[in-house]
Each structure stands twice: as C-alpha cells, then as structure tokens.
Chains A and B, each alone.
Chain A
Amino acid sequence: MDDKRVLTELDRLIDEFDPPPPGLVERVQFAVELEDLDVEVARWERADALTGVRGDQGTITFTVGDLMVMINLTRIGECHQIDGWLVPPGQHAVEVRVAGHGSHDTTADEDGRFVVDNVPRGTTQLVVQFDGTRTVVTPTVLL
C-alpha cells in the first residue's frame, strides 16, 4: 500500500474504530453552558485508572489546586443521594446540575459536608463557590 492509500484507509478507520463516544459532545456542551465561566476547572482524580467505569456507587474526587470536592453516591431507586465533602471546609454553596433536570442547591456545613438527595440519574456537574470568591466546576459525569 502506498502512503496515500494507507492514509485514506486510516481516515476511514479512525471513524469506524475510534469515534468520540456517543453523547460526548452533548456532555461537554452541558458542562460549558454555565452563564459565568470565570471559574476554576477541577479534574477528576481517578484512584484506579483501569476501572474507567462511570455510574458505579463509590467515591469520586475532583481537585484543582488546593481545593477538593469529594462525592459519594448512593443509589436509591431511580435517583442518587450525593454525600459530599469540601476541602478546605466551610459553608460553601453547592449546585448539582443534572442535564434536563435543572439544578439542586445546598450549602455545606462548617465541616464542609453536604447532602443532596433525590438527584435524578444522568449527566451531572457540580459547581461549588468556595467562600463566595472562587468558583470551581467539575467536568460532567454520567451518574
């Protein structure tokens, strides 16, 4: 096969074997829909990169700089209860956005803990205002 032919074949194969995951564009669009994007972007710290599984019960940790957002999910029927913990602790405002289901707001207690229940399953993003001065957003996760 000459170069041109190989490249033509690869052009077809990257779409056939390795297309972006279904729904990825929509998940990103949801993540960047916020009115105000003067924010710090937290990264998902995966404890075990091999799992690659979304939607399990368990703990998910997001960090950016010295700020951390941890959530623990408990599935109850068709919804989740989200137990969260913010570092540094404090009475920070928390918004849980679920695509197509609006948002759930709460405030953490002075230890940085919060609970949001009856969160519908779906594409989910957290927005946390640390001390009302620094806004942290997470990537969307499919919960």
Chain B
Amino acid sequence: MVTSVRTTDEDPPWEGLHGAERYAACMRAARAGNRVARATLVKDLTPLVWHVARGHGLDRALAEDVVQTVWLALFSHIDSVAEPKALAGWLITTTRREAQRVRGKATDLPLTDEMAEQLPSTQPQPEDEALRADRDTRLWRAFRELPDKCQELLRLTVLSGRSEYRLVAEAMQMKRGSIGPTRGRCLDTLRQLLDSEGGGD
C-alpha cells in the first residue's frame, strides 16, 4: 500500500549518488519516513546481506529468513543505527550475528543435496561451453567445501571489488585490519581442494 511512489516531480536526494553517499542519503530519507528510500536500500544492498548469510553455511531458505529479519531490524531501529555511512558495517555485523543464531538451531544440509539444487541444467551445450561449465562447477564445489570463514571472506572480497560495493571494502578494513594473509590462506586451500578434485585447470 504505497500511497504514492512519486509524490513530486523532484528527483529523490540520492539520485545520481553512488556508494556510501547514496546509502547515507537514503538512510537520512528513510529516517524521515520515506518508503521509497527504504525500498531503494533494500534493492541495492540485499545481495550483500544475502551473500553474508550464505557465507555462514545457511541453506537458501534459512538465508532468506535472515535477509528479511535483518532488513526489518534495520528499519525498526533506524534511529539507533549510529551513522548512515556505517550502514554496510551494520548490515554485515547484524547479518553475521543473526546467521549464527539461526545456524545454532539448524541441522546442516548435506552439501550434495544443495549442490544438486544449484547445479546448472544439463541441457546440451556446445563443447567449449560444456567444458567451461564443468570447470565452473568444480571450482564452485571446491569453494563450497571451504570453511565458512573463508567462504564469507572471499564472498565479501569479490563484492567489495565491485564499484557499487566500495563501502564493503571500507567496512572490512575497519573491522579486520589486515585481511590479506587470511585471504591468501583461503585461496591456497581452495586451490588444493580443486587439485584434489582432479586438475585445477
């Protein structure tokens, strides 16, 4: 029941802004009750929340629960989320905490079931595409065998490399200090897993 999505001809204050500035503008508007600002934040940052939740070993259904809880928690406590610019850090921390809470209760899904669910379809494909798909599948399987900590770190690393998620890089720098060596170890483990599956390339 959004009463009016476009109340005036004015562009919203976050229009044309990117990254942390855009989210800070949305946060200020959301605090003033602007529902379009809420919807914009949800659209832009749900992939981040999703990947943090998935990086904690939750199956897709439980990860969706966590995503919803985190967003509802944000907007119902929006006045106490200290700093609009710290939004990414808040989302990552809250998602991590909620994922751990949920996982404490959940039975782990056997990896094989989830793989089956996620594998690309076996439609006939041109040969090199099939080869590539096979390599992709092996890399993804190896990735999913990594410890949760590594999966989360690598997911956040690739997200923070995307221009729209530069604020994730800032949040990671603040929280973790130097993450390089840990990331290096995770990547080494990934390569070992890939090799043990029969050829890393």
* Binding site secondary structure of chain B: helix
Give the CA-CA distance A17 to B135 in the complex, in Å. 13
Expressed in whole angstroms, the minimum distance between the Cβ of B99 and any Cβ of chain A is 12
Partner of A31, one of B72, B107, B155: B72
Interface residues on A, range: 35 or more
A 8-45 binary contact with B (CB < 8 Å = 1; else 0): 01110110111111001101110111010111110110
Expressed in whole angstroms, the minimum distance between the Cβ of A69 and any Cβ of chain B is 14
Expressed in whole angstroms, the minimum distance between the Cβ of A56 and any Cβ of chain B is 12
Interface residue tally for chain B (C-beta within 8 Å): 52
Give the CA-CA distance A27 to B71 in the complex, in Å. 11
Contacts of A38 in B (CB 8 A): 76
Asked if residues B158 and A49 are in contact (CB atoms below 8 Å), the reply is no
Asked if residues B140 and A139 are in contact (CB atoms below 8 Å), the reply is no
Q: Given A17-B140, A18-B118, are A32 and B158 also a contact pair (CB < 8 Å)?
A: no
A 43-76 binary contact with B (CB < 8 Å = 1; else 0): 1101001101110000000000000000000000
Asked if residues B69 and A139 are in contact (CB atoms below 8 Å), the reply is yes
Q: Given A21-B64, A29-B43, are A41 and B191 also a contact pair (CB < 8 Å)?
A: no
Expressed in whole angstroms, the minimum distance between the Cβ of A130 and any Cβ of chain B is 15
Expressed in whole angstroms, the minimum distance between the Cβ of A61 and any Cβ of chain B is 13
Asked if residues B71 and A13 are in contact (CB atoms below 8 Å), the reply is no
A137 at the interface (CB under 8 A from B): yes
Q: Given A7-B158, A17-B118, A52-B60, are A41 and B47 also a contact pair (CB < 8 Å)?
A: no
B143 at the interface (CB under 8 A from A): yes
Q: Given A7-B161, A37-B76, are A31 and B68 also a contact pair (CB < 8 Å)?
A: yes
Give the CA-CA distance A140 to B73 in the complex, in Å. 14
Find the A residue at minimum CB distance from B110: A50
A-B contact pairs, 20 of them (CB 8 A): A1-B194, A1-B201, A6-B190, A6-B191, A10-B139, A11-B158, A11-B161, A17-B120, A24-B46, A28-B71, A29-B39, A32-B42, A33-B38, A43-B65, A49-B106, A49-B107, A50-B109, A137-B76, A139-B68, A140-B68
